[in-house]
Structure 1
Amino acid sequence: MTHRRAVAQRLRAAAAVVVLGLALTACGSEPQGDNVDPDLVDSTEPPTLGACRVLAPTDVEQAANATKTVDCGARHTAQTFHVGELPAKFDDAAYDDEAVGQHAYTTCSKRFAEFVGADESLVLRTIVSWAWFRPSEQAWDDGARWFRCDVVGGTATSEAYVPLPKTAEGLLLGLPEDKWLVCARGPVFEQTEKVPCSQQHDWRAVSAIKVGVPGDEYPGDQVVASRTDAQCRIAVQAWLGYPASFEFAYTYFHEAEWDAGNRRSVCWAKTTE
């Protein structure tokens, strides 16, 4: 049997997720999404927990969002799963204080996993993700210190979001449907596009292995890549049922993602299943 070459690839997906959380605009009349609700623009009132919206990736690029809410029984691509109040230490913080973004990122990450019912591995292997929004700059100046976490039907690399169910709560519990899991299409992993596993695909994200533990200093790209290669080879072979030959790829992340708390890499199996 022909032995195929194992393919390795590095991506910056997690970094892009962080960027979603930290994106800012400078002016006070910054965009607040498409199809805005005038009552929400520059509002100091905390958003409504559980509200649904039709958001697009361009909306998520903005720091603030005042898009109109829709009935969750209608088509929507986003749902608010957490509304938080910033700690008192941020009362006098600047609008673009990085510590604000870090607080929201940490909180939303944890609440997202709890809301959709995913563990650390599954969070990195789903086509759904989250974004967070702060008040507008005007509302911030008026004393608003809330932040909003939304689950969205896509990732940082999605060109468009897919509709979500009436509620995304528990979406990934048990054995998630393939339409919520991430696969890739393309013979060579470096040139693939990410698609839901319910679509035709050539690669499936089958595991997200640990390459460090909380408290570890970042060991460097080379060490993370080496650990990832060794562990993914084992994980993918086991997932495929220990074939004599197989192809695998992996996604490992870098220092920015490590500092944000990620200690995992994603293992991909070459498979149409």
Structure 2
Amino acid sequence: MEARMARTGRRLRRTSPAAFAAVVLALLAASCSNATPDEPAEDAPVVIETPRADACRVLEPQDAAASSNERDVVDCTEEHTARTFVVDEFPPAFADAAYDDTRLGEHVYGVCDEAFAKVVGGDESARLRSLLSWVWFRPQADAWEAGARWFRCDVVGGTDTAETYRPLPADLDKILDTQPDEWMACVQGPQVAGAPRVPCSEPHNWRAATTIKLGKAGDDYPGDRLAEVRTRDFCRTSISAWLDYPDSYEFGFTWFGQAEWEVGNRRSICWAKIDR
């Protein structure tokens, strides 16, 4: 049996925004005095008021790269790309936390990933292989200094590789239970790595078919090399079985690094090359 492995991809996924937050916070710490999305201009209002749950907005990936977000709310019957599903307060232990404290993202991940699962349904594998993910925001830096300690988590219609978010359906309740093609991740291109994900309802030649769980809660990160090798070896056999053991086939895989591991993601994605 010949297995021709596609070029692999290794990148952070927005399903685990706490990992991405570490990058954002590092940028915040090194930023200059010019106004940024996280450091509003002097005449911008300081928003301390807690946002409303179940609110809809039109967000794009560049919005998700910021620590705070004050986009206007739109009626959820109108076209929207984001929907708030958690609004909560950090516990008292974070009362004196710095704006760039990495523990913030770890806490949010534990709260919002569990809530995300309840909202969109599906198992852990289906959620990781979908085009739905979630992002989180905190108050503006000035509001944080003034004592605001809320955080907000939004479902968005895209992942970290998306150039733009897709409009969300009016009803997200358990949408991934049936793994509809319009919300499952595929790729159209010569390889998986670096290619934007498209809905499997559109033309494609790669499909995110299975996942591998590399460890359980509490396990130490195995290291980059071991994580990659375990993922590759599992995906080789998993995709062969998924394709019903063909004589030859191509597979790819996406594995994630230590930052994702530390906030709770223990899975890698296996991709099948398919004829369409």
- TM-score by structure 2 length? 0.88
SS in 2 for 1:131: strand
Separation in structure 2 between the aligned mates of residue 62 and residue 182 of structure 1, nearest angstrom: 25
Mapping 1:213-252, distance limit 5 Å: 213-252=216-255
Match among 81, 101, 106 for residue 97 of structure 1: 101
Check the 8 A contact 2:235/2:253 in 1, yes or no.
yes
Q: 1:138–1:167: structure 2 CA closer, same or farther, 3 Å change rule?
A: farther
RMSD: 2.3
Residues 1:5 and 2:4 aligned together: yes
For residues 192 and 30 of structure 1, what CA distance do their matches in structure 2 show? 29
Structure 2 residue ranges without an equivalent (≥5): none
Residues 1:210 and 1:111: Cα distance change in structure 2 (over 3 Å): same
Equivalent residue, structure 1, for 2:83: 79
Question: In 2, distance between residues paired with 1:176 and 1:193?
Answer: 19
Which of 185, 188, 203 is the matching residue for 2:188?
A: 185
Could you tell me which of 113, 116, 133 is aligned with 2:117? 113
Letter of the structure 1 residue corresponding to residue 221 of structure 2: Y
Counterpart CA distance in 2 for 1:187 and 1:128 is: 24
1: CA distance, partners of 2:258 / 2:78: 40
The 1:8/1:31 distance shift into structure 2, 3 A limit, reads: closer
Provide the C-alpha distance between the structure 2 equivalents of 1:122 and 1:184, rounded to a whole number of angstroms.
16
Distance in 2, matches of 1:193 and 1:55, equals: 18
Alpha-carbon distance in 1 for matches of 2:20, 2:218: 25
The answer to whether the Cα contact below 8 Å between 1:132 and 1:150 also exists between their aligned partners in 2 is yes
Q: Which position in structure 2 is the counterpart of 1:14?
A: 13
CA distance in 1, matches of 2:58, 2:114: 23
TM-score (norm 1): 0.88
Q: What amino acid is aligned across from residue 72 of structure 1 in structure 2?
A: C
Match of 2:37 in 1: 31
Match of 2:137 among 130, 133, 138: 133
- Report how many aligned residue pairs link the two structures: 265
Identity between Structure 1 and Structure 2 (%): 46
Deviations 1:73-96 (A, max 9, x none): 100000000011100011111111
Query: In the alignment, is the contact (CA less than 8 A) between 2:126 and 2:179 conserved in 1?
Result: no
